[in-house]
Amino acid sequence: MKILIIGGGNMGKTYARSLLRAHLVQPNDLMVLERSPEQAEKLKDENIGVVFTDASKCLDVADLIILAVKPQDSATLFAKLRPNTDPQQVYLSIMAGVTIESIQKGLGVDKVIRAMPNLPAQIGLGMTSYTASDAVTRIELVLVQNLLNTTGKAIYVDNEHAIDATTAISGSGPAYVLYFMEAMIEAAREMGFDESQAELLVAQTFRGAVELQMKNDLTCAEWISRVSSKGGTTEAAMNTFRATSVFEDIKNGAKAALARAEELGRS
Ligand SMILES: NC(=O)C1=CN([C@@H]2O[C@H](COP(=O)(O)OP(=O)(O)OC[C@H]3O[C@@H](n4cnc5c(N)ncnc54)[C@H](O)[C@@H]3O)[C@@H](O)[C@H]2O)C=CC1
Ligand SMILES: O=C(O)[C@@H]1CCC=N1
């Protein structure tokens, strides 16, 4: 089976590396199509498959095509690919917002899987949701599921609203977590730690808290109460957070991401 990844940026490269690392495809059967000649040159030095800049030289031989360009570039891409698409091909899109129907219409194909991964896929700790059009067979879906599993955890959902919601939670989510980390690192710096000490204190705290939460049945609120001694330091911090709108602000940020995903789907 030949796989073509279109868009050799952050996510395109992540998929190429994961597929090769998992031996799901041989280097000769993996193709990457990149529009930018400069980026294509860089990709050639990275041993992530055969690199192309011209769709007519690689599209027709591909069985599975991964669409990893920005949503704003999708219409131009579809117009370019459409004359050479084949209804037997399976298209896997990871573009935020872009609906299955618009991919089917834009490319003139039926078999479309829409997935929303996230950046930790780079280190095998990704979170992906995916769904598929009716024309995708069970065997094709399992094949793509195996592919997604090389990047971390993946769940099947039965509607595209869940894909947009995934975009707002786990797709964009790493940025929210890193923003919180950035604030704590800045606080640690202001308390006298140097940069590397501050980063270690914060990163290890996040890792520990996440592992606790994932490996046990307690809720976040229950863990918070275990950290908080009556009249102690955590309570002082939590009272300060609760006196502001930070909790609602984080939820509102995620809701803005959902609204933007839906907007991208309409444009
Ligand atoms: N960065 C992230 O954390 C995540 C991104 N996504 C989605 O993945 C997609 C790609 O995102 P990134 O990799 O971050 O973007 P990126 O900007 O790093 O990479 C996109 C690449 O596509 C290339 N490209 C654009 N038009 C093309 C065309 N017509 N033919 C061939 N190549 C073309 C660009 O030159 C660029 O190298 C987006 O649709 C985004 O919504 C999904 C989940 C997470
Ligand atoms: O910011 C974005 O639009 C993409 C989708 C999820 C993460 N990055």
Helix (H, G, I), strand (E, B) or coil at 106: helix
Question: pLDDT band at residue 118, thresholds of 50, 70 and 90?
Answer: very high
117 ligand 2 Cβ < 6 A: no
Instruction: Give the distance (Å) from ligand 2 centre to CA of residue 171.
Output: 6
Distance CA 251, CA 61 (A): 45
The segment(s) of the chain belonging to CATH 1.10.3730.10 are: 173-266
Q: Tell me which residue of 147, 100, 140 sits closest to 121, measured CA to CA.
A: 147
Write down the pLDDT at residue 201.
98
- The mean per-residue pLDDT over the stretch 27-41 comes to 97
Q: Tell me the whole-structure pTM to 2 decimals.
A: 0.96
Reported as a single tens digit per residue, the pLDDT across 12-28 is 999 999 999 999 999 99
Instruction: Give the distance (Å) from ligand 2 centre to CA of residue 257.
Output: 9
Q: Which fold has domain 3-158?
A: Rossmann fold (3.40.50)
36 ligand 1 Cβ < 6 A: yes
Distance CA 117, CA 100 (A): 16
Q: Which fold has domain 173-266?
A: ProC C-terminal domain-like fold (1.10.3730)
- Binding site listing for NADP(+): 6-11, 68-71
Distance CA 147, CA 117 (A): 12
Helix or strand (DSSP H, E) at 131? strand 126-132
78-to-40, 142, 178, 244 alpha-carbon distances in Å: 20, 26, 34, 46
The segment(s) of the chain belonging to CATH 3.40.50.720 are: 3-158
Reported as a single tens digit per residue, the pLDDT across 152-188 is 999 999 999 999 999 999 999 999 999 999 999 999 9
126 ligand 2 Cβ < 6 A: no
Helix (H, G, I), strand (E, B) or coil at 180: helix
Length of the chain: 267
Would the pLDDT of 267 be above 80? no
CA 35 to chain CA centroid, Å, is 21
Would the pLDDT of 119 be above 90? yes
Q: In whole angstroms, how large is the CA radius of gyration of the chain?
A: 21
Percent of the chain with pLDDT over 90: 99
* Closest atom, ligand 2, to C-alpha of 264: 3
CB 145 within 8 A of CB 154: yes
93 ligand 2 Cβ < 6 A: no
* Closest atom, ligand 1, to C-alpha of 98: 39
- The mean per-residue pLDDT over the stretch 246-264 comes to 97
Q: Which residue has the tokens 């090389």?
A: 150
Output 118-124 pairs: Cβ under 8 A, ≥24 positions apart: 118/170, 118/171, 118/172, 118/173, 118/174, 119/10, 119/11, 119/14, 119/174, 120/152, 120/174, 121/11, 121/14, 121/15, 121/18, 121/151, 121/152, 122/10, 122/14, 122/17, 124/18, 124/150, 124/151, 124/152
- The mean per-residue pLDDT over the stretch 232-260 comes to 97
Instruction: Give the distance (Å) from ligand 1 centre to CA of residue 214.
Output: 31
Report the residue among 118, 151, 172 best suited for mutation to probe ligand 2: largest number of ligand atoms under 8 A from its CB.
172
* Closest atom, ligand 1, to C-alpha of 73: 26
* Closest atom, ligand 2, to C-alpha of 261: 3
- The mean per-residue pLDDT over the stretch 114-135 comes to 97
CB 102 within 8 A of CB 77: no
119 ligand 1 Cβ < 6 A: yes
Write down the pLDDT at residue 188.
98
Would the pLDDT of 110 be above 80? yes
Report which bound ligand comes closest to the CA of 257. 2
Write down the pLDDT at residue 160.
97
Instruction: Give the distance (Å) from ligand 1 centre to CA of residue 34.
Output: 10
- The mean per-residue pLDDT over the stretch 5-17 comes to 97
Question: Average per-residue pLDDT in the chain?
Answer: 97
